[in-house]
Structure 1
Amino acid sequence: MLNTEKLAMTSKEAHVVCNSIQVVLEDAKAEDVVTINLSGKSSIADYMILATGNSQRQLGAFASKLRDLFKLIGLKSVSVEGEETGDWVLMDAGDVIVHLFRPEVRIFYNLEKMWLAEMPSDKTPIANK
């Protein structure tokens, strides 16, 4: 069991959780599972995982399987949003964030484009120039 009660994870623990989530989603037949390493890009999390399901029922099943995983590994206080609508379910497990989308919603928001874009070499905020 991981030491993740307060959602604070070591880098290694976040990596293990990330890999476990990927396995669960792939076993559940989630489509287009993409993992984005956020280290050095953002302080909100170490990893972001995106996956697609073709129906609200399928997204609900993915979320349920992930809840079971979180319980099994001792991850507490995972925040879940959007399950009622079933178009986009967000699961915030601290250093690992999971986005479960219906296909049209994933295309509309296109998070991969935003988070996989190259960071400019000059990271000085525009307001300070």
Structure 2
Amino acid sequence: MKARKADVAKLRDLVEEILSDDKAENLVSIDLAGKTSFADYMIIASGRSSRQVVAMADHLKEGIKEAGYGAVRMEGQTGGDWILVDAGDIVVHLFRPEVRNFYNLEKIWAPDIPVEMIG
């Protein structure tokens, strides 16, 4: 069952706040409404190192659970180059900058985002 739009917006705001507090770089939030059924928003951000990327993912996991949104699933935390945090209606991709540039998810999901916003 999909969450209400207001609840999804609150979760998106929480994720953005946690990432901002953790000094995430080039944070981009992409509205996926009408583009896919797997999530309502995709959030992409970079960390300066693998250690920072792992720490951001851990803080997201804890913050989302503490806020009452339940447990999240994560993939990729072993290497820290690219971590996927699946919070249901919000999907978060955390990258080291080089890896983010290689995959360039913004170009696929939001080609109208200016290049300077993504680093």
RMSD: 1.3
Aligned to 2:44: 50
Per-residue Cα deviation, 1:79-114 (whole angstroms, up to 9, x for no partner): 100000110000001110000000011000000000
Query: Identity of aligned pairs, percent?
Result: 47
* CA-CA distance at 1:44 after TM superposition: 0.9
**Unpaired segments ≥5 residues, structure 1:** 1-6, 119-129
2:94 matches 1:105: no
Distance, in Å, in 2 between the alignment partners of 1:75 and 1:99 is: 18
SS of residue paired to 2:30: strand
SS of residue paired to 1:41: coil
Per-residue Cα deviation, 1:53-77 (whole angstroms, up to 9, x for no partner): 0111101110111112112112223
Amino acid at match of 2:75: E
2:21 matches 1:27: yes
Larger radius of gyration: 1
**Unpaired segments ≥5 residues, structure 2:** 113-119
SS of residue paired to 1:15: helix
Amino acid at match of 1:26: S
* Length-normalised TM-score, structure 1: 0.82
- The 4+ residue runs of structure 1 with deviation greater than 2 A are none
Where in structure 2 are the equivalents of 1:1-129 lying within 5 Å? 8-117=2-111
Amino acid at match of 2:96: R
